[in-house]
Amino acid sequence: MTEGRSDRGSVKCELLRESPSGLAWLIEFEGEEVWIPKSQGELYKREDGGYTLFAEKWLLKKKGLI
């Protein structure tokens, strides 16, 4: 059994840029720009050129992504 998997979610987004420090991504989700700390998520490029962000649901809720 993998613990914590049910506490993770995902959203489709666009990657705009990385922070100057390299510690966060600036993504666009439904027209809004949102900073996501790299330590709190995983970002994967999709075949269609967009991205999918995987992160804990609490973070996605806090950032208004779900």
SS3 26: strand
> How far is CA 25 from each of CA 1, 3, 4, 22, 38, rounded to the nearest angstrom?
31, 26, 23, 8, 7
- In which band, very low, low, confident or very high, does the pLDDT at 3 lie, cut at 50, 70 and 90? low
User: What total of structural domains would you count in the chain?
Assistant: 1
What pLDDT does 2 receive?
46
CATH code assigned at 31: 2.30.30
Whole-prediction pTM? 0.87
Domain hosting 37: range is 5-62
Token digits of residue 65: 């992504």
> How far is CA 65 from each of CA 6, 14, 62, rounded to the nearest angstrom?
17, 13, 8
Distance CA 47, CA 24 (A): 23
pLDDT over 90 (residue 4): no
